Amino acid sequence: MKKLDKTLNILIIGLGLLGGSYAMSLKKQGYKVSAITKDQSTVDYALKNGIVDYATTDVDETLIKNSNLIIFALYPHIFKEWIKQYGNIISEDTVITDVTGVKGTVVYEIQSLLKNGVEFISAHPMAGREASGVENSSDEVFKGANYIVVPTEKNTENAKQLCRDLGYTLGFADISELTPQKHDEMIAFLSQLTHCIAVSLMCASDDPDLEHYTGDSFRDLTRIANINDEMWSELFLANKTALLKEMDSYRTAFNKLYNCIVTNDRDGMREMMKLSTARRKRFEKRI
Amino acid sequence: MKKLDKTLNILIIGLGLLGGSYAMSLKKQGYKVSAITKDQSTVDYALKNGIVDYATTDVDETLIKNSNLIIFALYPHIFKEWIKQYGNIISEDTVITDVTGVKGTVVYEIQSLLKNGVEFISAHPMAGREASGVENSSDEVFKGANYIVVPTEKNTENAKQLCRDLGYTLGFADISELTPQKHDEMIAFLSQLTHCIAVSLMCASDDPDLEHYTGDSFRDLTRIANINDEMWSELFLANKTALLKEMDSYRTAFNKLYNCIVTNDRDGMREMMKLSTARRKRFEKRI
């Protein structure tokens, strides 16, 4: 098994926002980065802007065989399809990793599809933007952000270390490790629920004049209401049980606050606000 | 009635975050700004940092009598108490305005308490920070933000114009006008509901490790979960009817999304996300 160094041939499959940001960061630091992606326009953009050393829309067998580290930045179902169709091309002793936003319904299945000698170590970079596509890529998004390595009992220490090293190299500030199940619970609360909230809020009023009166609180809260519906609807359903549980917990808290207002329970309200303020202080970004 | 010019004696009552930010901006631009505020430490800070020309903790009758424009930046109930106790000191031909976050339970009452010749024109600057106190003041917060003038039938064109001029002078980008009732409905949705959401979300999980895994979506959504419980619990109850109505609309949308997930209704989910995305595009700040 290899270490993360500049002799590695790194291949990124899927040059969207995240794939492109990985490529940009790694290439800038002198790593050898190639990419396979579906649209020729993405290939052209990435080459023109020096985001990768080489890119193609072909499933290029030689390129895949010669890669030592493959990073998949695809939607979950496309990732699985790709491995089913082409996984056998990947050479032994290759490590693959990913950026997929759900793990339980992905990691075990991918690991079971791979041949012996090819190790899949899953990771989730907690960075993104309310935009998609390679042209919105930026290696800045990783700075100060969190990165979660999500191993199973099949993973080796060596691959976990390689995956952590990748996170540090990309510039993440806090690298942690979770099981797929714990990851999915965490993400249901921290990421999926927040997107549910923003979308619901944006759908709750059809007043056409709101933007003249809004302040930053509404703007910040709904930044993610600008959402990739294809990707997020897939992620929500792929993590349904955990997400519904977190939605329930949140509804309970919201209803509690609602009832405080109904009953003029100012102390109850202030208690929730004090708890909220104390907890929120832990979440500032460490840059 | 006067115009907003540099001959006016401007008095700010309450040098908190907003009062301090008004003072800072006006004084920098060459206006004559005095302040009355409750703590000597605030007076000291404001004078030392050149935020005002003069400040005192006394209810200085001469200062008040000589003021042509008085800006109240107090909690609603303190604002009302102040006017009841000291309103008669204010000279005829003085215009007073405010920054109060609710209007229906404030504006009519204040107007009825004032003597003839003193005109109260209410306004709501849609700018703030998740911090309080004069030491967090900044005239930057107004840039690109919205400012709402909230007149009643008692107000004159002249005072409305003075109030709008104040908004432009402070640097607001979009100045609009609403009735107190419409203002309170708007604010219930855009500001109070968002704070309810952030507080509820922060109260919904007691997991002590969340901050290691979070991304920007959760950070942005909960920025306002760091909340002044004294002020916001007062504002919520002062606008109870409108707020509960908006909380209901939001719960309905959230429950609709919840049910889409329960029933694997991916099309229903994507329809909400598309609506959300289209609407969100209107809300970008215009700087």
Contacts of A194 in chain B (CB under 8 A): 201, 217-218, 221
**B233 CA: distance to closest CA in chain A (Å):** 6
Contacts of A222 in chain B (CB under 8 A): 276, 280, 283
| DSSP code for B146 | E
**B115 CA: distance to closest CA in chain A (Å):** 31
Residue scoring higher pLDDT (B216 or B230) = B230
Identify the band that residue A47 occupies on the pLDDT scale cut at 50, 70 and 90: very high
Substitution target from B17, B103, B232, B261 for chain A, most A beta carbons within 10 A: B261
**B123 CA: distance to closest CA in chain A (Å):** 12
pLDDT tens-digit series, residues A102-135: 999 999 999 999 999 999 999 999 987 767 889 9
The pLDDT of residue A285 is 64
By C-alpha distance, the chain A residue nearest B211 is: A283
Tell me if chain B has a CB within 8 Å of the CB of A216. yes
The pLDDT of residue A286 is 57
The pLDDT of residue B286 is 57
Q: DSSP string of chain A?
A: ---S-TTSEEEEE--SHHHHHHHHHHHHTT-EEEEE-S-HHHHHHHHHTTS-SEEESS--HHHHHT-SEEEE-S-HHHHHHHHHHHGGGSPTT-EEEE--S--TTTHHHHHHHSPTT-EE-EEEEE---S--SGGG--GGGGTT-EEEEE--TT--HHHHHHHHHHHHHHT-SEEEE--HHHHHHHHIIIIIHHHHHHHHHHHS---TTGGGT--HHHHHHTGGGS--HHHHHHHHHHTHHHHHHHHHHHHHHHHHHHHHHHTT-HHHHHHHHHHHHHHHGGG----
Contact present, A184 and A212 (Cβ < 8 Å): no
Contacts of B277 in chain A (CB under 8 A): 225-227, 229
CB spacing of A190 vs B218 below 8 angstroms: yes
CB spacing of A251 vs B254 below 8 angstroms: yes
Average confidence (pLDDT) over A14-37: 97
CB spacing of B225 vs A191 below 8 angstroms: no
> Do strands A119-120 and A95-98 pair parallel, antiparallel, or not at all (unpaired)?
parallel
Q: Hey, what amino acid is at A254?
A: F
Contacts of B182 in chain A (CB under 8 A): none
B79 alpha-carbon distance from chain centroid: 14
Q: Hey, what amino acid is at A60?
A: D
The pLDDT of residue A129 is 72
pLDDT tens-digit series, residues B239-274: 999 999 999 999 999 999 999 999 999 999 999 999
Contacts of B204 in chain A (CB under 8 A): 189, 246, 249-250, 252-253
Q: Is the pLDDT of residue B43 over 70?
A: yes
Q: Is the pLDDT of residue A66 over 70?
A: yes
Identify the band that residue A74 occupies on the pLDDT scale cut at 50, 70 and 90: very high
CB spacing of A225 vs B276 below 8 angstroms: yes
Tell me if chain B has a CB within 8 Å of the CB of A264. yes
Residue A38 burial class via C-beta count within 10 angstroms: exposed 0-12, middle 13-18, buried 19 and up: middle
Q: Is the pLDDT of residue B40 over 80?
A: yes
The pLDDT of residue B109 is 97
* Closest to B42 measured CA to CA, from B12, B66, B70: B12
Q: Is the pLDDT of residue A1 over 60?
A: no
Percent of chain B whose pLDDT exceeds 90 = 89
Q: How far apart are CA A287 and CA A172, in angstroms?
A: 10
Average confidence (pLDDT) over B40-48: 97
CB spacing of B222 vs A189 below 8 angstroms: no
Tell me if chain B has a CB within 8 Å of the CB of A68. no
Tell me if chain B has a CB within 8 Å of the CB of A150. no
The pLDDT of residue B213 is 87
Identify the band that residue B285 occupies on the pLDDT scale cut at 50, 70 and 90: low
Contact present, B60 and B8 (Cβ < 8 Å): no
pTM above 0.95, yes or no: no
Identify the band that residue A37 occupies on the pLDDT scale cut at 50, 70 and 90: very high
By C-alpha distance, the chain A residue nearest B285 is: A219
Q: Is the pLDDT of residue A2 over 60?
A: yes
Average confidence (pLDDT) over A252-267: 98
**A182 CA: distance to closest CA in chain B (Å):** 11
